């Protein structure tokens, strides 16, 4: 399942992606994109950021696993048809593990944020 439509930008340790929520999305219930979908979107944005830097050819994202979620705050659930923008900034990296600060914006309002610990396959 793909929860990222495109990479908006990759700069240093920050990646921004876009995602339009469609009616057939597995995380859609009662017209709203549910919490697990928001978390998966943040994790996939982190994986997309590992695929390259701006100006480089982008490689396929690496397979990753969420090791931990910390300080999760969800203020609002987007609905079908909404386009969300997700920003992930790597705060720490050790071997194949990354700690990232992630946030999701809808209409210039942060609707979800957390810290993720992500493990990427080598």
Q: Which is nearest to 89 in space by CA: 32, 52, 42, 29? A: 42
In CATH, 6-120 is 3.10.129.10: yes
Sign of the C-alpha dihedral, residues 95, 45, 64, 78? positive
C-alpha span between 22 and 27 (Å, rounded): 10
pLDDT digits (tens, 9 = 90+) for 19-36: 999 999 999 999 999 999
Give the pLDDT score at 54. Answer: 42
The structure tokens listed for 50 are 């590992």
Give the pLDDT score at 120. Answer: 78
pTM above 0.85, yes or no: yes
pLDDT digits (tens, 9 = 90+) for 96-117: 899 999 999 999 999 999 999 9
Sign of the C-alpha dihedral, residues 59, 63, 65, 66? positive
Percent helix, strand, coil in the chain, to 5, is 10, 50, 35
pLDDT digits (tens, 9 = 90+) for 51-97: 655 444 555 666 778 999 999 999 999 999 999 999 999 999 998 89
- Backbone conformation region of residue 75, classed left if phi is above 0, alpha if psi is from -120 to 50, else beta: alpha
């Amino acid at each position: 399942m793909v929860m990222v439509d495109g990479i908006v930008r990759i700069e240093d340790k920050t990646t921004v992606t876009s995602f339009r929520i469609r009616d057939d999305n597995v995380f859609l219930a009662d017209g709203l994109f549910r919490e697990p979908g928001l978390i998966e979107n943040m994790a996939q944005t982190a994986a997309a950021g590992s695929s390259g830097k701006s100006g480089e050819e982008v490689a396929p994202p690496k397979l990753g696993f969420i090791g931990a979620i910390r300080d999760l705050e969800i203020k609002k659930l987007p609905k079908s048809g909404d386009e969300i923008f997700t920003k992930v900034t790597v705060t720490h990296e050790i071997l194949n593990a990354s700690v990232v600060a992630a946030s999701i914006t809808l209409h210039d309002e942060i609707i979800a944020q957390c810290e993720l610990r992500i493990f990427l396959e080598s």
